[in-house]
Amino acid sequence: MRLTVIVPDKTIIKNGIAVHVDDNSFWTGYTEYHAFQFDTENSSINQVEFINNGGTRLPTNNEQTIFSNKFDEIRNAEVTADENKKSNWANSWDRIRRTRSTLLKDSDWTQGSDSPLTDAKKTEWATYRTALRNIPTTYSEEQPRNITFDGNYGDVKVNGVVVITKPT
């Protein structure tokens, strides 16, 4: 494990991933330090740089544990928040409406008077577009996360079953 701590920046970097530690009380005992470096694979890099006198010393195992644990705490909170954000988006009607609007916009050309489609194909497309517009009403009892869109084809699935098929 490689761990770098930059005290003035309130930053901990573990194996190339950085987190910012806003909690000022966490840094209270380290104000005279500039940086800590820990490398469990290459002990020759381990050092602490002092701001005041420019000296160095080896970091303690306790310091390594404290900084590693703080990194893990913050990183886990960030990952959890990101996963929650993605889950909330997947289960939002806003996601459904935005995707539906894109599919409608991409098929606007099918309804124009100058469209090269036959009347039968225009009707097929009109039916598809109506079904798209009605998704929030038709599937209001469903959790939005159960409604998915096939980005390649424009089909709509509910619980994995195709319920709206894009015309070809």
Q: What is the pLDDT of residues 114-140, one digit of tens each?
A: 999 999 999 999 999 999 999 999 999
Mean pLDDT for the chain? 90
Cut 0.75: pTM above it: no
- What is the pLDDT averaged over residues 66-83? 97
Domain-by-domain residue ranges, the chain? 2-89, 93-164
- What is the pLDDT averaged over residues 91-118? 95
What's the length of the chain? 168
Q: CB of 3 within 8 A of CB of 37?
A: yes
User: Starting from the edge strand earliest in sequence, which strands make up the sheet with 56-57, in order?
Assistant: 17-20, 11-14, 2-6, 33-39, 47-50, 56-57
What are the tens digits of pLDDT across the range 36-54?
888 877 765 566 666 666 7
- Give the residue from 73, 13, 19 showing the smallest Cα distance to 38: 13
> DSSP H helical segments within 91-158, as ranges?
93-106, 119-133, 135-138
Rg (CA), the chain: 28
Separation CA 158–CA 34 (nearest Å) = 55
Separation CA 14–CA 161 (nearest Å) = 43
The confidence band for 22, taking pLDDT boundaries of 50, 70 and 90, is: very high
Strands (E), the chain: 2-6, 11-14, 17-20, 33-39, 47-50, 56-57, 147-149, 156-158, 161-164
pLDDT at residue number 41:
77
Decide if pLDDT at 153 tops 90: no
Task: Report the range of poorest mean pLDDT among 37-46, 57-66, 70-79, 142-151.
Answer: 37-46
Question: What is the helix (H) or strand (E) element at residue 65, kind and residue range?
Answer: helix 61-90
